[in-house]
Structure 1
Protein backbone atom coordinates (compact mmCIF):
# COMPACT_ATOMS: atom_id res chain seq x y z
CA UNK A 1 0.00 0.00 0.00
CA UNK A 2 2.75 2.47 0.95
CA UNK A 3 2.63 5.94 2.45
CA UNK A 4 2.27 9.09 0.40
CA UNK A 5 5.31 10.75 1.99
CA UNK A 6 7.41 7.57 1.58
CA UNK A 7 8.19 7.48 5.31
CA UNK A 8 7.87 3.84 6.37
CA UNK A 9 9.27 1.55 9.04
CA UNK A 10 9.63 2.24 12.75
CA UNK A 11 9.68 5.81 13.98
CA UNK A 12 12.20 7.17 16.43
CA UNK A 13 9.46 8.64 18.62
CA UNK A 14 5.90 7.99 19.78
CA UNK A 15 3.21 7.69 17.11
CA UNK A 16 1.33 10.95 16.70
CA UNK A 17 -0.59 12.78 13.98
CA UNK A 18 -2.16 16.22 13.48
CA UNK A 19 -5.13 14.91 11.50
CA UNK A 20 -8.62 15.52 12.87
CA UNK A 21 -11.62 13.66 11.41
CA UNK A 22 -15.18 14.72 12.19
CA UNK A 23 -17.23 12.84 9.62
CA UNK A 24 -20.06 14.80 8.00
CA UNK A 25 -18.65 18.01 9.51
CA UNK A 26 -14.98 18.65 8.74
CA UNK A 27 -11.61 17.01 8.42
CA UNK A 28 -8.01 18.17 8.56
CA UNK A 29 -5.74 15.52 7.07
CA UNK A 30 -1.97 15.87 7.17
CA UNK A 31 0.26 13.96 4.70
CA UNK A 32 1.89 11.69 7.29
CA UNK A 33 -0.04 8.43 7.37
CA UNK A 34 -1.92 8.94 4.11
CA UNK A 35 -1.63 5.82 1.99
CA UNK A 36 -1.34 5.25 -1.73
CA UNK A 37 -4.42 3.68 -3.30
CA UNK A 38 -4.59 1.21 -6.18
CA UNK A 39 -7.22 2.37 -8.69
CA UNK A 40 -7.86 0.52 -11.97
CA UNK A 41 -6.57 2.29 -15.05
CA UNK A 42 -3.86 4.34 -13.33
CA UNK A 43 -0.48 2.95 -14.34
CA UNK A 44 2.85 4.08 -12.85
CA UNK A 45 0.95 6.58 -10.72
CA UNK A 46 0.87 7.12 -6.97
CA UNK A 47 -2.66 8.20 -6.13
CA UNK A 48 -4.29 8.98 -2.79
CA UNK A 49 -7.99 9.45 -2.07
CA UNK A 50 -8.68 12.46 0.16
CA UNK A 51 -12.29 13.66 0.49
CA UNK A 52 -15.00 11.11 -0.35
CA UNK A 53 -18.62 10.17 0.47
CA UNK A 54 -17.30 8.00 3.32
CA UNK A 55 -16.03 11.22 4.91
CA UNK A 56 -19.32 13.02 4.22
CA UNK A 57 -18.57 14.70 0.89
CA UNK A 58 -20.67 14.52 -2.28
CA UNK A 59 -17.43 14.49 -4.29
CA UNK A 60 -14.04 12.77 -4.35
CA UNK A 61 -10.68 14.56 -4.16
CA UNK A 62 -7.31 12.99 -4.91
CA UNK A 63 -3.65 13.91 -5.05
CA UNK A 64 -1.64 12.13 -7.71
CA UNK A 65 1.99 11.66 -8.68
CA UNK A 66 2.37 10.67 -12.33
CA UNK A 67 5.74 8.99 -12.64
CA UNK A 68 7.96 9.20 -15.73
CA UNK A 69 5.85 6.73 -17.72
CA UNK A 70 2.61 7.20 -15.83
CA UNK A 71 -0.68 7.12 -17.70
CA UNK A 72 -4.36 6.30 -17.76
CA UNK A 73 -5.39 5.09 -21.20
CA UNK A 74 -8.34 3.08 -19.92
CA UNK A 75 -10.07 6.36 -19.15
CA UNK A 76 -11.29 8.03 -15.96
CA UNK A 77 -14.97 8.94 -15.93
CA UNK A 78 -18.48 7.51 -15.94
CA UNK A 79 -22.05 8.32 -16.92
CA UNK A 80 -23.24 11.44 -15.10
CA UNK A 81 -19.83 12.15 -13.55
CA UNK A 82 -17.86 15.38 -14.15
CA UNK A 83 -14.17 15.64 -13.34
CA UNK A 84 -11.14 17.89 -13.35
CA UNK A 85 -7.39 17.27 -13.34
CA UNK A 86 -5.08 20.11 -12.23
CA UNK A 87 -1.30 19.97 -12.56
CA UNK A 88 0.96 21.50 -9.89
CA UNK A 89 4.12 20.74 -11.84
CA UNK A 90 5.39 18.65 -14.74
CA UNK A 91 3.82 18.04 -18.13
CA UNK A 92 1.00 15.77 -19.32
CA UNK A 93 -0.66 14.90 -22.59
CA UNK A 94 -4.42 14.87 -21.89
CA UNK A 95 -7.56 14.17 -23.86
CA UNK A 96 -11.28 13.64 -23.56
CA UNK A 97 -14.09 13.48 -26.09
CA UNK A 98 -13.78 17.22 -26.81
CA UNK A 99 -10.18 18.24 -26.21
CA UNK A 100 -6.61 17.08 -26.85
CA UNK A 101 -3.85 19.13 -25.25
CA UNK A 102 -0.53 19.22 -23.46
CA UNK A 103 -0.76 20.84 -20.04
CA UNK A 104 2.11 22.10 -17.90
CA UNK A 105 2.38 23.55 -14.37
CA UNK A 106 -0.87 25.33 -13.54
CA UNK A 107 -2.70 23.59 -16.40
CA UNK A 108 -5.99 21.78 -16.05
CA UNK A 109 -8.68 19.96 -17.98
CA UNK A 110 -12.38 19.78 -17.03
CA UNK A 111 -14.29 16.82 -18.50
CA UNK A 112 -18.04 17.22 -18.83
CA UNK A 113 -20.48 14.64 -17.36
CA UNK A 114 -20.21 11.27 -19.06
CA UNK A 115 -16.89 12.10 -20.66
CA UNK A 116 -13.71 10.10 -20.15
CA UNK A 117 -10.31 11.60 -19.38
CA UNK A 118 -7.10 9.93 -20.61
CA UNK A 119 -3.56 11.11 -19.97
CA UNK A 120 0.05 10.14 -20.52
CA UNK A 121 3.35 11.41 -19.14
CA UNK A 122 5.88 11.38 -21.98
CA UNK A 123 7.99 14.24 -20.63
CA UNK A 124 10.62 12.16 -18.87
CA UNK A 125 9.91 13.96 -15.58
CA UNK A 126 7.59 13.29 -12.66
CA UNK A 127 4.37 15.33 -12.47
CA UNK A 128 2.14 16.11 -9.49
CA UNK A 129 -1.53 16.96 -9.60
CA UNK A 130 -4.93 17.25 -7.94
CA UNK A 131 -8.07 15.50 -9.18
CA UNK A 132 -11.78 15.91 -8.43
CA UNK A 133 -14.96 14.17 -9.50
CA UNK A 134 -18.63 14.65 -8.67
CA UNK A 135 -22.04 13.52 -9.89
CA UNK A 136 -23.40 16.32 -12.06
CA UNK A 137 -26.75 17.91 -11.16
CA UNK A 138 -28.49 18.56 -14.46
CA UNK A 139 -30.99 21.36 -15.15
CA UNK A 140 -33.18 21.97 -18.18
CA UNK A 141 -31.76 24.17 -20.92
CA UNK A 142 -28.11 24.28 -19.81
CA UNK A 143 -25.14 21.97 -19.78
CA UNK A 144 -21.38 22.37 -19.24
CA UNK A 145 -18.63 22.03 -21.81
CA UNK A 146 -15.08 20.75 -21.64
CA UNK A 147 -12.46 23.31 -20.53
CA UNK A 148 -8.68 23.32 -20.93
CA UNK A 149 -6.75 26.19 -19.37
CA UNK A 150 -3.87 27.34 -17.21
CA UNK A 151 -4.12 29.42 -14.04
CA UNK A 152 -1.15 31.48 -15.17
CA UNK A 153 -3.38 32.89 -17.91
CA UNK A 154 -6.06 33.95 -15.40
CA UNK A 155 -5.86 37.30 -13.61
CA UNK A 156 -6.05 37.45 -9.84
CA UNK A 157 -9.19 39.09 -8.46
CA UNK A 158 -9.45 40.75 -5.05
CA UNK A 159 -11.56 38.47 -2.86
CA UNK A 160 -14.56 40.50 -1.67
CA UNK A 161 -12.57 43.69 -2.16
CA UNK A 162 -9.55 42.67 -0.07
CA UNK A 163 -6.37 43.35 -2.06
CA UNK A 164 -4.24 40.92 -0.02
CA UNK A 165 -6.69 38.02 -0.42
CA UNK A 166 -6.78 36.95 -4.07
CA UNK A 167 -8.82 34.41 -6.01
CA UNK A 168 -8.83 32.73 -9.41
CA UNK A 169 -11.77 30.80 -10.91
CA UNK A 170 -10.84 27.90 -13.17
CA UNK A 171 -14.32 27.40 -14.67
CA UNK A 172 -16.90 29.87 -16.06
CA UNK A 173 -19.63 29.04 -13.55
CA UNK A 174 -20.14 32.74 -12.73
CA UNK A 175 -21.53 33.32 -16.22
CA UNK A 176 -22.63 29.84 -17.35
CA UNK A 177 -25.45 28.08 -15.49
CA UNK A 178 -24.48 24.82 -17.15
CA UNK A 179 -21.74 24.45 -14.53
CA UNK A 180 -22.87 23.23 -11.11
CA UNK A 181 -19.46 23.64 -9.45
CA UNK A 182 -16.20 25.52 -9.73
CA UNK A 183 -12.59 25.04 -8.78
CA UNK A 184 -10.91 28.07 -7.25
CA UNK A 185 -7.48 29.07 -6.02
CA UNK A 186 -7.45 31.31 -2.95
CA UNK A 187 -4.25 33.02 -1.81
CA UNK A 188 -3.61 34.99 1.39
CA UNK A 189 -0.66 37.29 1.96
CA UNK A 190 0.88 36.82 5.44
CA UNK A 191 -1.53 38.45 7.89
CA UNK A 192 -4.50 38.44 5.50
CA UNK A 193 -7.71 36.62 6.40
CA UNK A 194 -11.36 36.06 5.55
CA UNK A 195 -13.55 39.05 6.30
CA UNK A 196 -15.88 36.92 8.44
CA UNK A 197 -16.43 33.34 9.57
CA UNK A 198 -18.43 31.76 6.75
CA UNK A 199 -21.46 29.51 7.20
CA UNK A 200 -23.14 28.19 4.07
CA UNK A 201 -24.89 25.33 2.36
CA UNK A 202 -22.07 24.64 -0.10
CA UNK A 203 -19.26 22.24 0.79
CA UNK A 204 -15.52 22.40 0.06
CA UNK A 205 -12.52 20.21 -0.37
CA UNK A 206 -9.26 22.19 -0.17
CA UNK A 207 -5.67 21.11 -0.77
CA UNK A 208 -3.04 23.50 0.60
CA UNK A 209 -0.16 23.77 -1.86
CA UNK A 210 1.70 26.75 -0.41
CA UNK A 211 2.48 28.41 2.91
CA UNK A 212 0.99 28.18 6.37
CA UNK A 213 -2.24 29.30 7.97
CA UNK A 214 -4.61 29.12 10.89
CA UNK A 215 -8.00 27.70 9.99
CA UNK A 216 -11.31 27.86 11.81
CA UNK A 217 -13.28 24.63 11.37
CA UNK A 218 -16.58 24.56 13.27
CA UNK A 219 -15.18 27.25 15.60
CA UNK A 220 -11.97 25.36 16.35
CA UNK A 221 -8.79 27.16 15.29
CA UNK A 222 -5.97 24.90 14.13
CA UNK A 223 -2.63 25.34 12.35
CA UNK A 224 -2.40 24.12 8.75
CA UNK A 225 0.37 24.10 6.15
CA UNK A 226 1.47 23.02 2.70
CA UNK A 227 0.45 19.42 1.99
CA UNK A 228 -2.57 19.42 4.30
CA UNK A 229 -6.10 18.69 3.07
CA UNK A 230 -9.29 20.20 4.51
CA UNK A 231 -12.86 18.97 4.02
CA UNK A 232 -15.69 21.33 4.99
CA UNK A 233 -19.22 19.97 4.96
CA UNK A 234 -22.37 22.04 4.49
CA UNK A 235 -22.83 24.61 7.27
CA UNK A 236 -19.40 23.98 8.78
CA UNK A 237 -18.15 27.31 10.14
CA UNK A 238 -14.95 28.22 8.30
CA UNK A 239 -12.35 30.97 7.95
CA UNK A 240 -8.60 31.29 7.57
CA UNK A 241 -5.61 33.48 8.36
CA UNK A 242 -2.41 33.57 6.33
CA UNK A 243 0.61 33.22 8.62
CA UNK A 244 4.30 32.46 8.18
CA UNK A 245 7.21 34.57 6.99
CA UNK A 246 7.60 33.86 3.29
CA UNK A 247 5.20 31.98 1.01
CA UNK A 248 1.60 33.04 0.58
CA UNK A 249 -0.96 30.74 2.18
CA UNK A 250 -2.74 29.27 -0.86
CA UNK A 251 -5.02 26.36 -1.64
CA UNK A 252 -7.03 24.90 -4.50
CA UNK A 253 -10.63 24.11 -3.58
CA UNK A 254 -14.01 23.08 -4.96
CA UNK A 255 -17.42 24.62 -4.41
CA UNK A 256 -20.83 23.55 -5.66
CA UNK A 257 -22.97 26.35 -7.10
CA UNK A 258 -25.82 27.41 -9.43
CA UNK A 259 -28.38 24.92 -8.15
CA UNK A 260 -31.40 24.90 -5.82
CA UNK A 261 -31.68 22.34 -3.03
CA UNK A 262 -33.30 19.10 -4.09
CA UNK A 263 -36.00 17.66 -1.80
Structure 2
Protein backbone atom coordinates (compact mmCIF):
# COMPACT_ATOMS: atom_id res chain seq x y z
CA UNK A 1 0.00 0.00 0.00
CA UNK A 2 1.35 3.42 -0.93
CA UNK A 3 1.70 6.16 1.67
CA UNK A 4 1.88 9.95 1.58
CA UNK A 5 4.13 11.89 3.92
CA UNK A 6 2.69 14.91 5.77
CA UNK A 7 4.72 17.40 7.85
CA UNK A 8 5.65 17.04 11.50
CA UNK A 9 4.77 20.63 12.37
CA UNK A 10 5.86 20.92 16.01
CA UNK A 11 8.84 23.19 16.69
CA UNK A 12 12.20 21.43 17.13
CA UNK A 13 13.73 21.23 20.57
CA UNK A 14 15.79 24.20 21.73
CA UNK A 15 18.65 21.69 21.96
CA UNK A 16 18.50 20.92 18.22
CA UNK A 17 21.36 22.05 15.99
CA UNK A 18 20.58 24.62 13.30
CA UNK A 19 21.31 22.42 10.29
CA UNK A 20 19.06 21.68 7.34
CA UNK A 21 18.88 21.34 3.55
CA UNK A 22 16.81 24.40 2.63
CA UNK A 23 18.26 26.39 -0.27
CA UNK A 24 17.10 28.96 -2.82
CA UNK A 25 19.07 29.37 -6.06
CA UNK A 26 18.49 31.09 -9.40
CA UNK A 27 17.29 27.77 -10.88
CA UNK A 28 15.58 25.86 -8.06
CA UNK A 29 14.31 25.97 -4.48
CA UNK A 30 14.50 23.15 -1.92
CA UNK A 31 12.02 23.25 0.98
CA UNK A 32 12.82 20.24 3.22
CA UNK A 33 10.12 18.80 5.40
CA UNK A 34 11.92 19.91 8.57
CA UNK A 35 11.18 23.61 7.95
CA UNK A 36 7.41 23.20 7.54
CA UNK A 37 6.63 24.15 11.13
CA UNK A 38 3.70 25.76 12.96
CA UNK A 39 5.16 29.27 12.89
CA UNK A 40 5.24 29.55 9.08
CA UNK A 41 1.54 28.97 8.41
CA UNK A 42 -1.08 31.26 6.90
CA UNK A 43 -4.80 31.54 7.66
CA UNK A 44 -6.62 31.98 4.36
CA UNK A 45 -9.72 34.18 3.93
CA UNK A 46 -13.00 32.26 3.60
CA UNK A 47 -11.51 29.15 5.28
CA UNK A 48 -12.24 27.86 8.80
CA UNK A 49 -10.33 25.32 10.91
CA UNK A 50 -7.50 25.44 8.39
CA UNK A 51 -3.76 26.12 8.32
CA UNK A 52 -1.79 26.59 5.11
CA UNK A 53 1.88 26.35 4.18
CA UNK A 54 2.55 28.25 0.94
CA UNK A 55 5.36 26.27 -0.71
CA UNK A 56 5.37 28.03 -4.08
CA UNK A 57 4.20 31.36 -5.44
CA UNK A 58 5.24 33.31 -8.55
CA UNK A 59 8.46 35.19 -7.78
CA UNK A 60 10.94 37.06 -9.94
CA UNK A 61 13.76 34.73 -10.93
CA UNK A 62 11.81 31.61 -9.98
CA UNK A 63 8.79 29.60 -11.07
CA UNK A 64 6.03 31.97 -12.20
CA UNK A 65 3.11 29.91 -13.55
CA UNK A 66 1.56 28.50 -10.37
CA UNK A 67 1.04 28.57 -6.62
CA UNK A 68 1.13 25.46 -4.45
CA UNK A 69 0.03 24.96 -0.86
CA UNK A 70 0.06 22.27 1.81
CA UNK A 71 -3.24 22.52 3.68
CA UNK A 72 -4.25 21.05 7.04
CA UNK A 73 -8.01 21.01 7.72
CA UNK A 74 -9.40 20.20 11.16
CA UNK A 75 -12.63 18.18 11.53
CA UNK A 76 -15.52 20.44 10.51
CA UNK A 77 -13.19 22.89 8.77
CA UNK A 78 -13.09 23.93 5.15
CA UNK A 79 -14.46 26.60 2.84
CA UNK A 80 -17.61 27.38 0.89
CA UNK A 81 -15.65 29.78 -1.35
CA UNK A 82 -12.10 28.41 -1.56
CA UNK A 83 -11.03 30.12 -4.81
CA UNK A 84 -11.18 33.94 -4.92
CA UNK A 85 -10.13 34.35 -8.58
CA UNK A 86 -12.57 33.15 -11.29
CA UNK A 87 -9.78 32.74 -13.89
CA UNK A 88 -7.86 30.29 -11.69
CA UNK A 89 -8.09 26.49 -11.90
CA UNK A 90 -7.34 24.17 -8.99
CA UNK A 91 -5.95 20.70 -8.46
CA UNK A 92 -6.48 19.11 -5.03
CA UNK A 93 -4.57 15.96 -3.94
CA UNK A 94 -5.40 14.35 -0.58
CA UNK A 95 -2.56 12.87 1.47
CA UNK A 96 -4.23 12.07 4.82
CA UNK A 97 -7.71 11.96 6.28
CA UNK A 98 -10.63 12.70 3.99
CA UNK A 99 -12.18 15.65 2.18
CA UNK A 100 -15.69 16.17 0.88
CA UNK A 101 -15.60 18.26 -2.29
CA UNK A 102 -18.80 19.73 -3.69
CA UNK A 103 -18.80 20.67 -7.37
CA UNK A 104 -22.10 22.17 -8.45
CA UNK A 105 -24.72 19.53 -7.56
CA UNK A 106 -22.12 16.75 -7.25
CA UNK A 107 -20.45 15.59 -4.03
CA UNK A 108 -17.20 13.62 -3.99
CA UNK A 109 -15.50 12.14 -0.93
CA UNK A 110 -11.73 12.01 -1.43
CA UNK A 111 -9.57 9.61 0.56
CA UNK A 112 -5.73 9.54 0.52
CA UNK A 113 -4.62 9.45 -3.11
CA UNK A 114 -7.88 11.10 -4.15
CA UNK A 115 -7.81 14.13 -6.41
CA UNK A 116 -10.10 16.78 -7.83
CA UNK A 117 -9.53 19.10 -10.77
CA UNK A 118 -11.75 22.19 -10.62
CA UNK A 119 -11.85 24.31 -13.79
CA UNK A 120 -11.79 28.12 -13.74
CA UNK A 121 -15.06 29.67 -12.65
CA UNK A 122 -16.23 26.46 -10.98
CA UNK A 123 -18.73 26.52 -8.13
CA UNK A 124 -17.06 24.30 -5.53
CA UNK A 125 -16.47 23.91 -1.83
CA UNK A 126 -14.43 21.65 0.43
CA UNK A 127 -15.08 20.29 3.93
CA UNK A 128 -13.49 17.85 6.36
CA UNK A 129 -16.50 15.80 7.46
CA UNK A 130 -14.35 13.25 9.28
CA UNK A 131 -12.95 13.00 12.79
CA UNK A 132 -9.24 13.28 11.89
CA UNK A 133 -7.07 15.99 10.42
CA UNK A 134 -7.15 16.11 6.63
CA UNK A 135 -4.05 17.03 4.62
CA UNK A 136 -4.00 17.97 0.95
CA UNK A 137 -1.81 19.65 -1.63
CA UNK A 138 -3.52 22.48 -3.52
CA UNK A 139 -2.15 23.63 -6.88
CA UNK A 140 -3.56 26.85 -8.37
CA UNK A 141 -2.84 28.11 -11.89
CA UNK A 142 -4.26 30.92 -13.99
CA UNK A 143 -5.93 29.15 -16.89
CA UNK A 144 -4.93 30.19 -20.41
CA UNK A 145 -8.16 29.76 -22.40
CA UNK A 146 -8.08 28.23 -25.87
CA UNK A 147 -11.04 28.67 -28.21
CA UNK A 148 -12.98 25.44 -28.67
CA UNK A 149 -11.30 23.68 -25.75
CA UNK A 150 -13.00 23.90 -22.36
CA UNK A 151 -11.58 21.92 -19.41
CA UNK A 152 -13.98 19.76 -17.39
CA UNK A 153 -13.91 18.88 -13.71
CA UNK A 154 -12.26 15.54 -12.94
CA UNK A 155 -12.29 13.37 -9.82
CA UNK A 156 -10.59 10.10 -8.96
CA UNK A 157 -7.86 8.37 -7.00
CA UNK A 158 -4.34 7.85 -8.28
CA UNK A 159 -4.37 4.32 -6.85
CA UNK A 160 -7.11 3.39 -9.33
CA UNK A 161 -5.20 4.61 -12.42
CA UNK A 162 -2.85 2.28 -14.26
CA UNK A 163 0.52 4.03 -14.49
CA UNK A 164 2.35 4.34 -17.80
CA UNK A 165 5.83 2.81 -17.88
CA UNK A 166 8.41 5.18 -19.33
CA UNK A 167 10.03 3.82 -22.53
CA UNK A 168 12.91 1.35 -22.15
CA UNK A 169 12.76 1.26 -18.34
CA UNK A 170 11.16 -2.19 -17.78
CA UNK A 171 8.53 -0.42 -15.67
CA UNK A 172 10.99 0.80 -13.05
CA UNK A 173 10.04 4.43 -13.88
CA UNK A 174 6.27 4.98 -14.11
CA UNK A 175 3.94 7.95 -14.45
CA UNK A 176 0.35 8.06 -13.18
CA UNK A 177 -1.44 10.75 -15.19
CA UNK A 178 -4.40 12.27 -13.36
CA UNK A 179 -5.20 14.83 -16.07
CA UNK A 180 -5.39 13.93 -19.78
CA UNK A 181 -2.14 14.71 -21.56
CA UNK A 182 -3.58 14.78 -25.08
CA UNK A 183 -6.40 17.27 -24.47
CA UNK A 184 -5.56 20.91 -25.26
CA UNK A 185 -8.23 22.07 -22.83
CA UNK A 186 -5.74 21.43 -20.02
CA UNK A 187 -2.72 23.72 -19.76
CA UNK A 188 -1.11 21.82 -16.90
CA UNK A 189 -0.29 18.23 -16.00
CA UNK A 190 -0.55 16.73 -12.53
CA UNK A 191 1.09 13.32 -12.24
CA UNK A 192 2.38 10.92 -9.62
CA UNK A 193 5.83 9.70 -10.65
CA UNK A 194 7.16 6.40 -9.25
CA UNK A 195 10.71 5.01 -9.30
CA UNK A 196 11.78 1.60 -8.12
CA UNK A 197 15.00 1.54 -6.05
CA UNK A 198 17.98 2.36 -8.26
CA UNK A 199 15.90 3.63 -11.19
CA UNK A 200 16.85 6.99 -12.64
CA UNK A 201 16.16 9.85 -15.00
CA UNK A 202 19.36 9.15 -16.98
CA UNK A 203 19.78 12.55 -18.65
CA UNK A 204 19.55 16.18 -17.60
CA UNK A 205 16.06 17.23 -18.64
CA UNK A 206 16.26 20.88 -19.72
CA UNK A 207 12.91 22.27 -20.87
CA UNK A 208 10.45 25.14 -20.70
CA UNK A 209 8.08 23.46 -18.23
CA UNK A 210 8.24 24.69 -14.67
CA UNK A 211 7.89 22.03 -11.99
CA UNK A 212 6.53 21.67 -8.49
CA UNK A 213 7.60 18.33 -6.96
CA UNK A 214 6.14 17.23 -3.62
CA UNK A 215 7.90 14.09 -2.37
CA UNK A 216 5.31 11.56 -1.23
CA UNK A 217 7.38 8.50 -0.38
CA UNK A 218 10.99 7.28 -0.24
CA UNK A 219 14.19 9.16 -1.01
CA UNK A 220 16.40 10.10 -3.96
CA UNK A 221 19.31 12.21 -5.12
CA UNK A 222 18.49 14.96 -7.62
CA UNK A 223 20.93 16.61 -10.01
CA UNK A 224 19.74 20.21 -10.35
CA UNK A 225 21.62 22.77 -12.42
CA UNK A 226 24.92 20.99 -11.67
CA UNK A 227 24.26 20.44 -7.95
CA UNK A 228 23.54 17.11 -6.23
CA UNK A 229 20.62 17.46 -3.80
CA UNK A 230 19.26 14.75 -1.48
CA UNK A 231 15.46 14.63 -1.04
CA UNK A 232 13.09 12.49 0.99
CA UNK A 233 9.36 12.10 1.57
CA UNK A 234 7.86 15.40 2.71
CA UNK A 235 10.37 17.61 0.88
CA UNK A 236 9.39 20.02 -1.90
CA UNK A 237 11.22 21.26 -5.01
CA UNK A 238 10.29 24.24 -7.15
CA UNK A 239 12.11 24.29 -10.50
CA UNK A 240 12.10 27.29 -12.81
CA UNK A 241 11.97 26.93 -16.59
CA UNK A 242 15.07 25.30 -18.14
CA UNK A 243 16.53 24.09 -14.83
CA UNK A 244 18.54 20.95 -15.78
CA UNK A 245 17.20 18.02 -13.75
CA UNK A 246 17.84 14.31 -13.29
CA UNK A 247 17.60 11.88 -10.36
CA UNK A 248 18.46 8.48 -8.89
CA UNK A 249 16.02 6.70 -6.58
CA UNK A 250 17.76 5.73 -3.37
CA UNK A 251 15.68 2.86 -1.99
CA UNK A 252 15.11 0.70 -0.05
CA UNK A 253 11.49 1.24 -1.17
CA UNK A 254 9.81 3.17 -3.95
CA UNK A 255 10.47 6.85 -4.52
CA UNK A 256 7.28 8.75 -5.45
CA UNK A 257 6.34 12.39 -5.94
CA UNK A 258 3.43 14.58 -7.04
CA UNK A 259 4.46 16.54 -10.14
CA UNK A 260 3.05 19.78 -11.57
CA UNK A 261 4.13 21.18 -14.93
CA UNK A 262 2.75 23.78 -17.34
CA UNK A 263 2.09 22.54 -20.88
CA UNK A 264 0.16 22.93 -24.15
CA UNK A 265 0.33 26.67 -24.72
CA UNK A 266 2.23 29.00 -27.04
CA UNK A 267 4.94 31.25 -25.59
CA UNK A 268 3.55 34.79 -25.14
CA UNK A 269 5.85 37.45 -26.60
CA UNK A 270 3.66 40.55 -26.42
CA UNK A 271 4.37 42.99 -23.55
CA UNK A 272 2.78 41.75 -20.34
CA UNK A 273 1.93 38.39 -21.91
CA UNK A 274 4.56 36.26 -20.21
CA UNK A 275 4.03 32.50 -20.05
State TM-score, norm by structure 1.
0.92
Q: C-alpha distance in 2, partners of 1:205/1:49?
A: 12
Which range moved further: 112-121 or 58-67?
112-121
Which aligned segments of 4 or more residues in structure 1 are displaced greater than 4 angstroms?
none
Structure 2: any 5+ residue segments left out of the alignment?
Answer: 1-6, 270-275
1:3-35 Cα deviation digits (max 9, x unpaired):
x63332752143222111125x21011122332
Contact 2:120-2:143 within 8 A present in 1 as well: yes
Match of 2:56 in 1: 51
Q: Is 2:256 the partner of 1:250?
A: yes
Alignment of 1:117-156 (within 5 A): 117-156=124-163
Match of 1:194 in 2: 201
Q: C-alpha distance in 1, partners of 2:217/2:13?
A: 29
Offset at 1:61?
Answer: 0.6
Alignment of 1:110-259 (within 5 A): 110-162=117-169, 163-172=171-180, 174-245=181-252, 247-259=253-265
Q: C-alpha distance in 2, partners of 1:98/1:197?
A: 46
State TM-score, norm by structure 2.
0.88
Offset at 1:43?
Answer: 1.3
Q: C-alpha distance in 1, partners of 2:152/2:13?
A: 49
SS of 1:171's equivalent in the other structure is coil
Offset at 1:98?
Answer: 6.6
Q: Is 2:13 the partner of 1:18?
A: no
Q: C-alpha distance in 1, partners of 2:154/2:117?
A: 5
Q: C-alpha distance in 2, partners of 1:9/1:104?
A: 30
Compute the RMSD of aligned alpha carbons: 1.6
Match of 1:78 in 2: 85
Match of 2:11 in 1: 8
Q: C-alpha distance in 1, partners of 2:244/2:134?
A: 34
Q: C-alpha distance in 2, partners of 1:257/1:94?
A: 26
Structure 1: any 5+ residue segments left out of the alignment?
Answer: none
Q: C-alpha distance in 2, partners of 1:36/1:88?
A: 18
1:90-136 Cα deviation digits (max 9, x unpaired):
22110133742111121111110122431111121222111100101
